[in-house]
Structure 1
Amino acid sequence: MQEEVDFIIDYCKDKMLGAIKHLEKELTGIRAGKASPSMIESVQVEYYGALTPLNQVSNVSTPDARTIAIQPWEKNLIPVIEKAILAANLGFNPDNNGEIIRINIPALTEERRKQLVKQASQEGETAKVSIRAARKEANESLKKLLKDGLSEDVEKDAEAEVQTVTNEYGKKVDTLVEAKEKDIMTI
Structure 2
Amino acid sequence: MSAPTNWNDLKKDITRRMDSAVEVLKKEFSGLRSGRASINLLDPVVVEAYGQTMPLSQCGTVGVPEPRMLTVQVWDKSQVKAVEKAIANAGLGLNPQADGQMIRVPIPPLNEERRKELQKVAGKYSEQARISVRNVRRDGMDTLKKMEKDGHISEDEIKKHEKEIQAITDETIKKIDEALGHKEKEIMQV
Stretch moving more, 89-98 or 140-149: 89-98
Runs (5+) with no aligned partner, structure 1: none
| Stretch of structure 1 that moved more, 4-13 or 14-23 | 4-13
Between the aligned partners of 1:84 and 1:77, the Cα distance in structure 2 is 10
Aligned partners of 1:55, 1:180: CA distance in 2, in Å? 24
Q: Which of 47, 51, 58 is 2:60 aligned to?
A: 58
Match of 1:130 in 2: 132
Letter in structure 2 aligned against 1:179? H
2:72 and 2:103 in contact (8 A); partners too: yes
Q: Please show how residues 17-96 of structure 1 align to structure 2 within 5 Å.
A: 17-96=19-98
Question: Shift in Å at residue 5 of structure 1?
Answer: 1.8
Number of aligned residues: 186
> Greater shift after overlay, 109-118 or 49-58?
49-58
Decide which moves more: 50-59 or 65-74. 50-59
Q: Are the aligned partners of 2:69 and 2:107 in contact in 1 as well (CA < 8 Å)? A: yes
- 2:17 and 2:108 map into 1 onto residues whose CA distance is 37
Q: Aligned letter for 2:186? A: D
Root-mean-square deviation over aligned CA pairs: 1.6
| Residue aligning to 1:184 | 187
Structure 2: gaps spanning 5 or more residues: none
Q: Given the two structures, how large is their TM-score scaled by the length of structure 2? A: 0.91
**Mapped partners of 2:91, 2:121: distance in 1:** 18
What is residue 143 of structure 1 aligned with on the other side? 145
Deviating more after overlay: 4-13 vs 27-36: 4-13
